[in-house]
Amino acid sequence: MFSQRQGVSLLELTVAVAIIFIIAAISFPSFNGYLKYQDLKNSAKIFVSRVKQAQQETVTRQIKFAVELDLQTGDYRQLKLIQPNQVTEEYSLSDQVFFASTTGILLNQVVFNPTGAADQSGEIILESLQSGQQIKITIHPSGYVSWENN
C-alpha cells in the first residue's frame, strides 16, 4: 500500500527557494534600469505640469507668467512677469536628473502670453545622471507642451 505524504520535504523547499533567488538575480539589473528611467520620466511629467500651470496662470490672470530654468543647479521657478519680476513658486528636479540643454528658448525662460501661446518655441532636454537616458520636452508656438524619449 501507498503511504500518504503530508507536507513538503526540506529538499523540495530548498530547491523552490533557490529557483526564486535565481529568478530575482536575473531580473534585478532590468528592474534597476526601469527604476532609473521612472525617475527621469516622473521628473519630466512634473516639469511639464508646472510649465502648463504657468500657462494656465497666464490665461486666467491675463498677466504674463514664465518658467525660468537654472541649467547649473536643476532648479526652476515660476515667475510673474511684472516690473519687477516676482518669483511665485520654486522647484527642483530630482537629484539624479538635470537640464542637459535647451534650444530656441531665450534667457532660459518659457514665457506665455495672455492667449496661452508661447512667446518662443523650443526644446528642453532632461537627462538622467545614472543611465544617460534623455527626454525631450517641446514647447510649441501654440503653447502646447509635449514630451518624448530622445
pLDDT in tens, 29-45: 777 777 778 899 999 99
Tell me which H or E stretch contains 146: strand 145-149
Please indicate, yes or no, if residue 2 is contained in any of the structural domains. no
- Which residues contact residue 63 at a Cβ distance below 8 angstroms, ignoring those fewer than 6 apart? 57, 80, 81, 82, 114
Residue 110 structural domain:
10-149
Please indicate, yes or no, if residue 3 is contained in any of the structural domains. no
Counting beta carbons within 10 angstroms of the beta carbon of residue 67, is it exposed (0 to 12), middle (13 to 18) or buried (19 or more)?
buried
Please indicate, yes or no, if residue 40 is contained in any of the structural domains. yes
82-132: pLDDT as tens digits:
889 899 999 999 999 999 999 999 899 999 999 999 999 999 999 999 888
4-30: pLDDT as tens digits:
767 778 888 899 999 998 888 887 777
- Predicted TM-score (pTM) of this structure: 0.79
Q: How many domains does one find in the chain?
A: 1
- Measured CA to CA, the distance from residue 143 to residue 80 in angstroms comes to 17
Beta pairing class for 65-70 and 145-149: unpaired
Query: For the CA atoms of 141, 37, 95, 148, what is the dihedral angle to 10 degrees?
Result: 0
Which CATH number does the domain housing residue 72 bear? 3.55.40.10
- Measured CA to CA, the distance from residue 35 to residue 31 in angstroms comes to 6
Please indicate, yes or no, if residue 105 is contained in any of the structural domains. yes
- Measured CA to CA, the distance from residue 94 to residue 104 in angstroms comes to 24
